[in-house]
Structure 1
Amino acid sequence: MDVTSPTSKSGRYFKEDLRIDDLTTLASRFIGNDRVQAVVKNYASEHQIQQLNEKDPAPAELIGSVESILAQE
C-alpha cells in the first residue's frame, strides 16, 4: 500500500492536507477559540499577512505554534 497516495485507505492525515480551518477547529476543542485565534493573529502579524484564507493549507510554522500551545496544556 502506498501511504502517500491520496486514494489510500490507511486513514493517515498528512500535514499537507491540513487546512487552516481544520487546525483551528481541532485546537479550539482543547484550548478554546479565543486562544487559537490569538495564535493565528500572532502568526499573521509576524509574517505580515493581512488575512489568512481558512481554506488554504496550514503553514508548517502555524501548525508548530498551535502544537506548542497544546503541549503546554
Structure 2
Amino acid sequence: MFKHRRVRTAVVFVVAWVVLTGAERWAESAEWPNAVLQGLLWAAVVTAAWWFADWTRAGSPQPRHLEEHRGER
C-alpha cells in the first residue's frame, strides 16, 4: 500500500492509537487522559509487533526485483 516502511509504520501507529484509545475509553470506561495514555502504550506494542513482522517479511517471498537480479553477481 505505502512504499516506505516509515510511512506504513506511522499509519499503523496512528490508527492503532485511535482505535485502542476508543476501546479503553468506552469498553474499559477509562477517563480520557488515562484512555489516551493506555491507548498510546498498546499502540506502541501493536506497532512494534507489526514493524517486526514487516521487517522480517513474515515469511513472504522476496520482492520480484530482487529475485530477478539474484544471479547477476
| TM-score bracket relative to the smaller structure | 0.3 to 0.5
User: Could you state the TM-score of these two structures normalised by the residue count of structure 2?
Assistant: 0.32
Quick one: higher RCO (CA 8 Å, sep 6+), 1 or 2?
1
Larger radius of gyration: 2
Which structure shows the higher helix fraction?
A: 2
